[in-house]
Amino acid sequence: MDEPHSDAEKLAIRCPGCGQRFKVGLDLRDRMVECGTCEHRFRVNEEVIVRTKKFYPGERRNRSLDAFGRVPKTIVTGQTNFQTVQYAEEPARVALEPSSPVRLIFGFIAVTVAVMIALMLIFGGSAGGVLYGTSQSKRLMLAGFTAIVTGAFLIYANPRSRGKAVLGALASASVLLGLPFLFTEGNQPVGSVTAGLEYPERKLPDPEDGDAAPVEPDGELARLKREMEYAPLEREILRYGSQPGNTGRGVIGLWLIGLQELHKFQVRDYVIRNTGADPSSHLYQRQGGYLMVVSGVADDFAQMARLCQRFGEARIVEELRVIEVRVDNAAFLEGDHDKLTDPANPAFYELNRRELESIDLERARKAVVRLATAEPKLYREDIIRRMQELIREGDLELQGEVGKALLNWGKPGDGSEKVVLEAVRKIAATGHDMPESLVKFLVARKDEGVIPVLDSLWALDCTTWEALYVDLGPAIEDPVLARYEKGTVTLRMSACRLLGKVGSAKSLPVLEASREGSSPEVRVLIDRAIEAIRSRG
């Protein structure tokens, strides 16, 4: 039986002469070919092409057909005598991946905030603490807000452990909300701030309580004590009076009605700065305002009342050692910026004068800077007086700015020399850097009281202070001669220049004696100084 050909690109042919089979390409169809065996020539056509006979599986034996499994060759009848392997189900694999840095940060913030607020609720109620005088409701609001923020951050930071995060948030919330009930030190009932003094009656303190203020008959003083919650002031008066060495100084209370919370620190710093009170002087929040207990001040109620009139109307209640102040919160607001910075505006001088009167030293400093370059036309006396006060109140930066402004606004006989000289001496005693403008002002006024201070500054840094020192004229000759022989080479060269400008005949022996043995540079300066002194006769 003819074997099939499996190559689709070839033709199976049989030689008509010898019967030999060949495979040729399709391109030889209908062409003459020659048999390689018998050399018979014939044409490749349907007569010589070998056709494959169709057959069905099983009709012929062919190993290539064994790959087809239509009919199994053998049937296994025996049974296995061993147990097949039983595999367990594959365990679920947990995805391992690092936590996001953002989630780690949120978790750290949540824990840190919760711990900080918890410590604040525990220790912040002590005297002088951040929560001293804060009401129970506000403490609960703080704890509740912190619990919400902490819980949200914890849940966000633990996306794969939501259950644990929720439990942690609930635990932290329960702790935070429980702390205001456990730690009640410094807890004071605080209501909303109102403008008047009409408040509901409260239960009076028990007279048997040693720390409570004694109950007085109904009247103006009793009503005022109830409104202020007078006990802290009374305790401080007794404590301060029992200490030795406090003669002439005492405790004064300020009942600040209507003072807004954002301005309380300005008032506190202003009072302490201008009265020299103890830094421990404290503000107690009350219904309708603040009670400030000012310790270590002079027993001058009139002076204290004048200071308080800068931000409100003051009334002295000497029986209680209290000054009642109805605060004008508008006094803390800065004026129109366009008018404050435009010298051509008619309101420029008036508004800047008001800014100088502000209890906020930063606002006063800005006003001084604006006025320093303006022509001194209006309110000159008032502005000079206030600048003198600012030299006493302000820090080195403010004093330096005031010195520049006084060079423009000051005039002879206005008393500024005494104030500036006092400030210069105080700064020199403390060893801080001296504002050059203050010294320049005194030199411009030819105030010889500054010579000792300027002489010390010149000895330390002759290059910086030489130009100002020489402007004081012949009055500096003796201090310069006193430092000449023991000074450094640089100081002696500066002294030669100074003596050449302001020296007299008594400087000649000192200069001539020092000429021998001096370096050529110093000798040149000595010769010039001697020549200048002799030329003046």
Q: For the chain, give every domain's residue range.
A: 10-63, 101-182, 220-331, 449-537
3-state secondary structure 369-407: HHHHCCCCCCCHHHHHHHHHHHHHHCCHHHHHHHHHHHH
Query: Which one-letter amino acid corresponds to residue 33?
Result: V
Query: Which one-letter amino acid corresponds to residue 327?
Result: V
**Strand, coil or helix: 1:** coil
DSSP state of 432: P
Distance CA(46)–CA(29), nearest Å, equals 9
Enumerate the β-bridge partners of residue 323: 254, 316
Q: Are 33 and 24 in contact (CB under 8 A)?
A: yes
Q: Give the DSSP H/E element, type plus range, for residue 42.
A: strand 41-43
Nearest to 389 by CA among 423, 436, 430: 423
Distance CA(318)–CA(252), nearest Å, equals 9
Distance CA(390)–CA(386), nearest Å, equals 6
Distance of CA 325 to the CA centre of its chain: 33
Angle CA 49–4–61, to nearest 5 = 150
Distance CA(138)–CA(142), nearest Å, equals 6
Half-sphere exposure (Cβ direction) of 407: Cα atoms closer than 13 Å: 17
Q: How many CB atoms are located within 10 Å of the residue 129 CB? A: 14
Nearest to 252 by CA among 296, 294, 303: 294
What is the b/e burial string over 77-106, where b = at least 16 CB atoms within 10 angstroms of the residue's CB? eeeeeeeeeeeeeeeeeeeeeeeeeeeeeb
DSSP state of 12: E
How far is residue 513 from each of residues 322, 449, 486, 537, measured CA to CA in Å?
71, 31, 14, 20
Task: Kindly give, in sequence order, each residue whose CB lies less than 8 Å from that of residue 31, ignoring residues fewer than 6 positions away.
Answer: 43, 44
Question: Quick one: CA dihedral 335, 341, 347, 353, positive or negative?
Answer: positive
| Confidence at residue 206, expressed as pLDDT on a 0 to 100 scale | 45
| Confidence at residue 383, expressed as pLDDT on a 0 to 100 scale | 87
Give DSSP secondary structure letters for 507-528: GHHHHHHHHTT--HHHHHHHHH
Enumerate the β-bridge partners of residue 354: none
Distance CA(475)–CA(481), nearest Å, equals 11
Distance CA(282)–CA(303), nearest Å, equals 20
Q: What is the pLDDT along the chain (537 residues), one digit of tens a residue?
A: 444 445 667 888 888 888 888 888 888 888 888 887 888 888 888 888 887 666 566 665 666 655 555 555 444 555 556 666 666 666 666 555 666 787 788 888 888 888 888 888 888 777 556 776 677 788 888 888 988 988 888 888 887 777 888 888 888 888 888 888 888 776 654 333 333 333 333 343 343 444 334 434 457 788 888 888 888 888 888 887 777 766 667 888 899 888 888 888 888 888 888 888 888 888 888 888 888 888 888 877 888 888 888 888 888 888 888 889 898 888 787 777 888 888 888 888 888 888 888 878 888 888 888 888 888 888 888 888 888 888 888 888 888 888 888 888 888 888 888 888 888 888 888 888 888 888 888 888 888 888 888 888 888 888 888 888 888 888 888 888 888 888 788 888 888 888 888 888 888 888 888 888 778 888 888 888 888 888 876
Distance CA(537)–CA(532), nearest Å, equals 9
